[in-house]
Amino acid sequence: MSDATAKPFGRLLTAMVTPMAEDGSVDFDAAASLAVHLVAHGHDGLVLNGTTGEAPTTHAEEKAELIRTVVDAVGGRAFVVAGAGSNDTQHAVRMAEQAAQAGAHGLLVVTPYYSRPSQEGIFRHTVAVADATDLPVMLYDVPGRTVVRYSPETLGRLAAHPRIVAVKDATGDVGRISRQRHAMGPDFIQLSGEDMTALACMAAGADGCISVTANVAPELCAELMEFALKGDFAHALRLQDRLTPLHAAIFVQPGVCGTKYALNLLGRARNEVRLPLVPVDAPTEAIIRRAMVHAGVLNA
């Protein structure tokens, strides 16, 4: 791995979309091209087979092939993280094993959704997945999708595991960054998982960001992260002001639909999603185009 990823997982990671062909199959060539583009524009990590990658509707063979494709394309220059999330612990274990066999450098493990387990259940589930491979593990705390969340006490217990070394915090609760430093210690890696609050998380002590907007505006997001991590928050805020409408626009319609529409405008991925997701409607398209123009990533 490069020096940029000397700290596990890197500083700026893209939650990468899974490009699809017109017939709905995964477009592996487009995935490799997008991965190369993102890494060439300042991103030292990529997250595959997560929410933004449409993991709920891609299949095991597709997930493995996507990992192999991206690792082949950028594996020496970026840290490739694979989602291993399920509310079925044994299924999550198999996903972790498959990701390791396909060449992933790390795992992203979300709290078990829908089942609403206790904190003890969350703890045992996560340890089972972490014990399945030798890969470093990033926890994924996103209660807006899973309902359940890691308590500070559970995070503290998990941080004692030798391979559980990071958390993607998509709670939107900036105060948790400071509270979690006390629960897990200053060496545990905290990455913001929400673009709109990423800058505030950096100010609170987060180590980096996993960005969805970075699919569309990789250079701006990389520049923002560079200044935020140097403590130049005035400069970072000016960049955030350019990006804020785009952060909002691509999520006017929930899911990855807005991001894929924006990437289609840029010629980097087709505007294809799998049901139950559907492409954005015309009014949302207009909102996204305006936000892209405001950010400077699309000509008026």
Catalytic positions: 140, 168
> Phi and psi (nearest 5°) for 140?
-130, 110
Name the residue with tokens 């063979």: 61
The whole-angstrom distance between residue 26's C-alpha and the CA centroid of its chain comes to: 19
Q: Which two tokens stand for residue 73?
A: 């394309």
CA distance 272 to 206: 34
The residue among 237, 51, 39, 198 whose CA lies nearest residue 190 is 198
Peptide bond into 276 cis (omega under 30): yes
Q: Give CA–CA dist 179/173, Å, rounded.
A: 10
Please write down the long-range contacts of 285-293, taking CB distance under 8 Å and 24 or more positions apart: 285/261, 287/249, 287/252, 288/246, 288/249, 288/250, 288/252, 288/258, 288/261, 288/262, 289/265, 290/245, 290/249, 291/245, 291/246, 291/248, 291/249, 291/250, 292/216, 292/217, 292/246, 292/249, 292/262, 292/265
Write the CB contacts of 275 (distance below 8 Å, at least 6 apart in sequence). 57
Contact 99, 82 (CB under 8 A): yes
How many residues make up the chain in this entry? 300
Instruction: Count Cα atoms within 13 angstroms, Cβ side, for 195.
Output: 30
Which two structure tokens, joined as six digits, stand for 146?
């899973």
